[in-house]
Every structure is written in C-alpha cells, then in structure tokens.
Amino acid sequence: MSDTAHQIPADDSDIKRMSFEEALAALERIVSDLERGDVPLEMSIRIYERGEKLKSHCDRLLSAAEDKVEKIKLSRAGKATGTEPLDPA
C-alpha cells in the first residue's frame, strides 16, 4: 500500500489549516497513488474524496489570492503613484 494511504487522517479537518502549497502537494501525492493503481478499492475511494476536498481548498485559496492582486498605477513620468484593483468591478 502507498505511503499516502497510510497517512490519511480519519477526517479531513486538517485541510482547512493547510497552505496552498501543502494542499497541492497532498493532492499531487493522491493523484500519483491513484494513477499507480496499487491502492485497495475502499482506500482509493477515501483518498479520491480527500482529493476533491483538497482541490476545493486550493481553488478557494487561489480565488482569494486573485482578489488581492492589484496593479501598480504609474504617473506619466513612470513613478509609482499607488495601486488599484487588477480587474475593477
């Protein structure tokens, strides 16, 4: 059985505390395990469900980061004068 399958917690409450990078790494391990096909069916279902939650968490974190992205406003002389939303609503 894969290392990831042995490391899956009983619930998925830890996902909420993960950074984007941690969640993405966990998701990549799950994908790798599922692609290898050496995980028993019940465990495959469990880690697939966890993968879906990790993907949703990553999507939320990316969306939040995109909302924070700003573009720098420049004066005619090319000096920074402030920021404004990247995509004004």
Q: What is the pLDDT of residues 32-84, one digit of tens each?
A: 999 999 999 999 999 999 999 999 999 999 988 877 776 777 778 878 787 77
Full-model pTM = 0.71
Please state, in angstroms and rounded to a whole number, the distance separating the CA atoms of residues 21 and 75.
36
| Domain extents in the chain | 3-85
Query: How far is it, in rounded angstroms, from Cα 73 to Cα 6?
Result: 50
The CATH number assigned to the domain with range 3-85 reads: 1.10.287
Q: What is the pLDDT of residue 4?
A: 61
Q: Is residue 88 a contact partner of residue 46, using CB atoms and an 8 Å limit?
A: no
What pLDDT shows up at residue 1?
A: 54
